[in-house]
C-alpha cells in the first residue's frame, strides 16, 4: 500500500483550478439540460433542485425542528429523525443572514459544498497519483450519470466534501483535522461510519507498521505516549476519538428522544423500511427483473453495474491505494449495496465512493489530451441529458 506522506499544506487553489473549472463547466451543462427539459415539461428546474423529495425533509427540519412525521396507510411511519442535522443547520444559518428561503439556502450550501468536494477529490488524487490524475478524477466524478445530485439541496456533496478532506488529512498526517472533519461527516449522513472506519484503520496500520520497522526504544520515562519513531501518539489517538462523535452523538440523541436507547435510530429507519440485510433484498429485487423480457434487460444492467463496481474495487486494491481510501470506499459500497430499501437511490448512495474512480482516472490521464477531452465531453453530454430525464421522473433520485 502507498505510505502516508506528510505535506506542509493542502494543494493551492491555483493547482486545483483546471479541475474546478472543468467541474463547473460539467455542472453548468447539466443545469442547462435540466432547465430546458423541465421547461418543455412545464416544470420548475429550481423546484426540482431545491424542494422535492429529501430536500423537503431537510427543509422541514430547518424550519420546524425534529418531530415531524408522516403516517402512511400501510402503517409505516416516516419520521424526520431519519435525516441527520448538519445540512438543516447550515440551511438555517444561511437563511438567517440572507433573504433566501430554507430551500434556496440548501441549494446554495449544496452548490458550494460540491465545489469543496471537487477540490477535496482533486487533493486526494493529486496527493496519491499526481495532478493530471487529480483533474481526471474530478471530471469523472462530475460526469457520473447521477451527477445532477451534486447540484441539489441534498447531502451527497456536503458529505463527499467532508469525507474527501478528512481522507486527505489522514494521508498527510493531520490526525486531529481528520477527526474533526469525520465528526462533521457523521452529522451529515449515516455513512459517516465509512470515514470513521478509514481513520481508525489508517491509525492502527500506521502505528503497527512503525512499531514493526522501528528499533525498540530504550526504556525512558513517559516513552509510552510516543510512537516508536518518536512521533507523538496523542494526535492519532485524539483523531480516532473525535471521528465518531458526530454520528454517535446524533444516534444517541435520537435514542433518547424516542425512548429506545441506542436502538432508537434503527427503529426510525425501520419506519422507512430501510435497514441492512447484507444485500438480500437487493438481490431479490434484481432477480425479480427477470420475470419478463423488457425488465430482464434492466436486471442484466444492474448485474453488470454491480460487477463493475466490485471489479473497480479489486483494481483499486491491486494498484496499491492507501489503506484509508480502500476502507472508506469499501464501507460506502457495502452500505449502499446492502441496504434493504430504495433500490433506485443506490447510484446516488454510491456517489461519495470517489476512490473507485481513481483507476479510471489513471487510465484517462495516460491517454492523449484530445482523446481524454473527447471522452469526458461525450460522457458529460450523456450525463446531462440523463440527469434531466431522471430528475423529471416521478420517483426520488
pLDDT digits (tens, 9 = 90+) for 232-246: 788 999 999 999 999
- The answer, yes or no, to whether residue 163 has pLDDT greater than 80, is yes
Closest CA to 26 of 390, 375, 392: 375
Per the listing, cell 441549494 goes with 107
Q: Quick one: cell of 11? A: 494543494
Pick the range with the lowest mean pLDDT from 138-152, 260-274, 276-290, 313-327: 276-290
How far, in Å, CA of 30 to CA of 24, rounded?
10
Taking residues 365-384, report their average pLDDT.
96
Answer for the pair 88, 188: CB distance below 8 angstroms, yes or no: no
pLDDT at 329: 98
Whole-number average pLDDT of the chain: 90
- The answer, yes or no, to whether residue 353 has pLDDT greater than 80, is yes
How far, in Å, CA of 239 to CA of 312, rounded?
29
Answer for the pair 376, 143: CB distance below 8 angstroms, yes or no: yes
User: Residues 250, 251, 256, 259: is their CA dihedral positive or negative?
Assistant: positive
Q: How confident is the model at residue 214 (pLDDT cuts 50, 70, 90)?
A: low
User: Residues 150, 155, 158, 162: is their CA dihedral positive or negative?
Assistant: negative
Taking residues 320-344, report their average pLDDT.
92
387 vs 294 pLDDT, higher one: 387
Pick the range with the lowest mean pLDDT from 105-119, 137-151, 199-213, 251-265: 199-213
Q: Which residues contact 349 (CB under 8 A, 6 or more apart)?
A: 191, 332, 335, 336, 339
Give residue-wise pLDDT tens across range 65-80: 999 999 988 888 999 9
pLDDT at 360: 98
Q: How confident is the model at residue 216 (pLDDT cuts 50, 70, 90)?
A: very low
Q: Quick one: cell of 26? A: 460539467
Per the listing, cell 440551511 goes with 91
Amino acid at each position: 500500500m502507498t505510505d502516508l506522506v506528510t505535506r506542509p499544506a493542502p494543494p493551492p487553489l491555483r493547482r486545483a483550478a483546471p479541475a474546478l473549472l472543468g467541474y463547473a463547466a460539467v455542472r453548468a451543462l447539466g443545469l442547462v439540460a435540466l432547465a430546458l427539459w423541465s421547461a418543455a415539461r412545464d416544470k420548475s428546474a429550481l423546484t426540482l433542485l431545491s424542494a422535492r423529495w429529501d430536500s423537503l425533509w431537510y427543509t422541514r427540519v430547518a424550519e420546524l425542528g425534529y418531530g415531524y412525521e408522516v403516517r402512511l396507510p400501510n402503517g409505516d411511519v416516516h419520521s424526520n429523525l431519519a435525516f441527520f442535522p448538519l445540512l438543516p443547520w447550515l440551511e438555517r444559518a444561511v437563511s438567517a443572514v440572507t433573504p433566501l428561503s430554507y430551500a434556496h439556502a440548501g441549494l446554495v450550501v449544496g452548490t458550494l459544498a460540491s465545489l469543496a468536494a471537487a477540490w477535496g477529490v482533486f487533493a486526494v488524487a493529486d496527493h496519491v497519483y499526481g495532478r493530471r490524475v487529480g483533474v481526471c478524477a474530478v471530471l469523472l466524478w462530475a460526469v457520473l450519470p447521477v451527477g445532477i445530485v451534486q447540484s441539489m439541496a441534498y447531502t451527497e456533496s456536503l458529505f463527499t466534501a467532508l469525507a474527501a478532506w478528512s481522507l486527505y488529512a489522514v494521508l498527510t498526517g493531520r490526525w486531529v483535522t481528520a477527526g474533526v472533519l469525520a465528526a462533521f461527516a457523521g452529522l451529515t449522513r449515516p455513512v459517516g461510519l465509512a470515514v470513521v472506519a478509514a481513520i481508525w484503520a489508517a491509525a492502527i496500520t500506521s502505528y503497527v507498521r512503525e512499531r514493526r520497522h522501528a528499533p525498540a526504544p530504550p526504556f525512558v520515562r513517559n516513552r509510552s505516549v510516543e510512537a516508536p519513531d518518536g512521533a507523538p501518539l496523542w494526535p492519532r489517538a485524539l483523531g480516532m476519538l473525535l471521528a465518531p462523535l458526530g454520528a454517535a452523538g446524533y444516534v444517541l440523541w435520537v435514542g433518547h428522544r424516542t425512548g429506545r436507547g441506542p436502538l432508537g435510530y434503527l427503529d426510525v429507519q425501520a419506519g422507512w423500511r430501510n435497514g441492512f440485510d447484507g444485500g438480500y433484498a437487493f438481490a431479490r429485487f434484481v432477480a425479480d427483473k427477470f420475470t419478463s423480457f423488457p425488465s430482464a434487460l434492466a436486471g442484466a444492467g444492474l448485474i453488470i453495474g454491480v460487477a463493475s463496481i466490485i471489479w473497480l474495487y479489486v483494481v483499486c486494491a491491486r494498484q496499491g491505494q492507501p489503506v484509508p481510501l480502500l476502507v472508506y470506499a469499501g464501507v460506502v459500497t457495502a452500505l449502499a449495496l446492502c441496504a434493504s430499501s430504495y433500490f433506485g437511490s443506490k447510484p446516488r448512495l454510491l456517489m461519495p465512493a470517489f476512490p473507485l474512480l481513481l483507476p479510471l482516472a489513471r487510465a484517462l490521464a495516460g491517454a492523449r489530451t484530445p482523446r481524454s477531452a473527447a471522452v469526458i465531453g461525450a460522457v458529460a453530454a450523456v450525463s446531462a441529458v440523463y440527469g434531466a430525464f431522471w430528475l423529471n421522473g416521478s420517483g426520488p433520485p
